[in-house]
A and B are shown apart, each in its own frame.
Chain A
Amino acid sequence: MFLAVRDLRFAKGRFALMGAVVGLISLLVVLLTGLTAGLSRQSISAITSLPGDRVAFSTPAAGESASYASSRLSPSARDTAARQPGVTDAASLTLAPGRVEAGGRQAAVTLFAAEPGSFVAPAGLSADRVAVGEDLARDQRLATGDTVRIGGRSYAVAEVVPDASYNHTPVVWAPPSALAGTAGGGSVLVLRTGSGFDRDGFEWAVGARVMTVGDSVSAVGSYTAENGSLTLMRVLLMAVSALVVGAFFTVWTIQRTPDLAVLKAIGARTGYLVRDALSQALVLLVVGGGLGTMLAAALGRLAARSVPFVVDASTTLVPLLMLVAVGLVGAAGALRRIATVDPITALGAAR
């Protein structure tokens, strides 16, 4: 560190420029990460917060994959499913696009229809009471006890539930009667399974395709595609930062080759010089990346008022740490060059 900090101060113009580049990259990475998390929360939070551990879909047609929208696993399959080994409970769930009317305003929602009292249903759900997602409650200014209309019927709001978005729409948990006015939707079984669960046996007996709740996000409309392209952008940005940091330290190492030769001539081992230079890269990445991340978090807070955006440790600290890690890998690649500096060149300055 002794030499690293003095070189940093001595060449502060160059390091400030590079720090700014790292800062801008981290700004982009953190903004993208927050946006990805926000969009994904809007897309799948109602699925990932389902109270079961597996989901059964009707067997998809050849060449297609299971999907929440097109699954048609009738409620009658529930009893067969519940009897299978290792299944502790099974509950039918139907997902259908619908409209909710409250105080004269309409909102597009996804209805999650479940039998009141079944384990998937929120506690307050009954034949004339529904549970609404918190996004909808906020936008429509709904509170427990208010009345909403779905498909011409009135329901009381029994509960406001968190993490209830599906396919970028708010979710309303409703009794099956609320499906009357809709064109219908996909139906699946949510399972609670134990140790004896036999997936193949279950799929054969029920005529279904089973996934864990976590894997089943791939069955939510556009989730995989949109999440995939945002993730690809983040990965590319990370790779760019590794390359940029690597290129910077390559040039920097070449520039200071005479210094490195002198240091080796007075007895520095390559390992010492590499560690010293890595500590310099670490300072650069943490300071540059840290400032970029703080700026991104501040911008994200503002943006979160109008677009789906998540600011928490997983969308700020985690990408920052990843950026620092890949940056160090890039720098380490460049710093291997230190090993090739021959100390005899220090003696031959006049050659």
Chain B
Amino acid sequence: MSTALSLSDVTVTYPDGDRRLTALDAVSLDVAAGEMVAVVGPSGSGKSTLLAVAGLLLTPDSGRLEIAGQDVTGLGRGRAADVRRTSLGLVFQQSNLIASLTAREQLEMVARLAGRHGAPVRARADELLDAVGLTEAADRRPHQLSGGQRQRVGIARALMNDPALLLIDEPTSALDHERGAAVVDLLARVTRERAVGTVMVTHDRTTLDATHRAMEMVDGRLAALVP
């Protein structure tokens, strides 16, 4: 099975007064296509930082980075945007939708960025909205959606470009337990059916059953979770 994400010895430090705070300490992680990896850990341990690095939003101080088999270490801003557009799906801690766009348009926007539009794009957007159970809400704007519905639009949007790698930060934070479980099941299904590599950061340990592997982040170090 091919590798969706490969991080080797990635270190990230942030300025912290006159010292530097090590947010990621020589972190290595491989995620195969079709595999779902959960990352748990206390607040401030570096989980979001890990996703920022894997999502090419943050350049690490050192270490190597591959996405879908391509070396993407140290790309410039424009090239990094190109990789995000073609190969990555990002779901944020808050759903982060664009206020002026309807649910369907949030998804169409992704295709627009890649220069695609028209009937096939709409059909695909509707198919994805259907998959996350939002057929009825396709024409509503973010302020007309509940928190859970927004979260699901965010997930559908992340799948719009058929990503090789899906990076998800706390998908269940805004949801009740039942809804949260449904979202995680959905992610597990998508991971399997579309052969995406998925990294999901979560606080909610009850969702771990749906994943293949769980890792724990403690003080910037990543290790397999001992249950």
Contact = CB atoms under 8 A, between A and B. Distances in A.
A7 to B, nearest CB: 5
Interface in B86-102: 86, 88, 90, 92-94, 96-101
Given A10-B99, A266-B157, A269-B82, A347 B57 contact: yes
18 contacts: A2-B117, A3-B98, A6-B105, A11-B100, A258-B96, A262-B92, A263-B98, A265-B84, A265-B90, A266-B85, A266-B157, A267-B84, A267-B161, A268-B81, A269-B82, A344-B57, A346-B92, A346-B96
Contacts, number: 95
A252 interface: no
A11 B101 CA distance: 12
B113 interface: yes
Given A266-B110, A344-B58, A3 B86 contact: no
A349 B96 contact: yes
Interface string A2-24: 11001101110000000000000
Given A2-B112, A266-B84, A347 B100 contact: no
Contacts of A9: 100
Interface string A256-290: 00110011111111101000000000000000000
A350 interface: yes
Given A6-B105, A349-B92, A349-B93, A262 B81 contact: no
B85 A265 contact: no
A264 B98 CA distance: 12
Interface residues of A, number: 27
Contact of B81 (A7, A10, A259, A269): A269
B109 A2 contact: yes
A63 interface: no
Contacts of B158: 266
Interface string B52-77: 10010110000000000000000001
A259 B101 CA distance: 11
Interface centre among A7, A344, A351 (most CB of B within 10 A): A344
